[in-house]
Structure 1
């Protein structure tokens, strides 16, 4: 039996949450999702030690606390140091990708790319995560 994987999906756009969750479920049917509407909401969910996701996907462009601000604060949470964070955005400019990596992101996925490309990226990411379980 394949292990369950707990995914925290941080995005202020509910339609994008649904689309990305559907693509991820198609990639790995044992995925379970927790949603946050922005970086502040995500940090609130992660403050206690009872919720530890296997992986986090965070949009860069969000109100209140954007994805990069979230990533900076998240990386200060020592009890979650091993949780990989993948950023995504409509732009995949190298400067943005490099900035995400310098802040501690494990990778970057372009939002609104071809669905098969996104699915393939998620499959690789999830395969790497599940191989560690």
Structure 2
């Protein structure tokens, strides 16, 4: 089932990765959570035909390849676009310009990182639970069955 496939988290900040790792551990989802500190490595991973994650959670401001640029590549490359993976931005940036840019890139969510652990955890839970219940078209190519 699609809801048990991998969740990709692309976050260059080690402290933010650790917080998200703790949140996912606390939430107890059966999905494998795969962390990337470098968005170019995440892109290489996503280009593998057999890789079709459940969801991508991505920071915006990252070195080498920012979240906006990564999302744009996913939309431009047919092999990536056809995987139809929900893409969620998680960022400290919440200015109008960033939100507008994210909307132009047809993301499925944009949440602000939180300093309040419980609220941040609730935001992540809300996003993941929504996509677990949402009827969404996913390519059947390359789906790995996971328990």
Do these two structures clear the TM 0.5 threshold for a shared fold by scoring above it?
Answer: yes
Greater shift after overlay, 56-65 or 72-81? 72-81
Unaligned 5+ runs, structure 2: 136-147
Q: Deviations over 1:60-116 (max 9, x none)?
A: 111000111111001224344421010121121222112112112111111134222
Residue of structure 1 aligned with 2:111, choices 109, 112, 120: 109
Partner of 2:129: 127
RMSD: 1.9
Structure 2 equivalent of residue 19 of structure 1: 19
**How is 1:61-100 mapped onto 2 (pairs within 5 angstroms)?**
61-81=61-81, 82-100=84-102
* Greater per-residue strand proportion: 1
* Larger Rg over CA atoms: 2
Output the CA distance in 1 between the equivalents of 2:57 and 2:86.
Answer: 9
- For 1:108 and 1:132, how far apart are their aligned partners in 2? 17
TM-score (norm. length: structure 1)? 0.86
C-alpha deviation, 1:122, in angstroms: 1.4
Q: Contact (CA 8 Å) 1:60, 1:89: kept in 2 or not?
A: yes
SS at match of 1:51: coil
Residue 34 of structure 2 corresponds to 34
How far apart, in 2, do the equivalents of 1:109 and 1:68 lie? 14
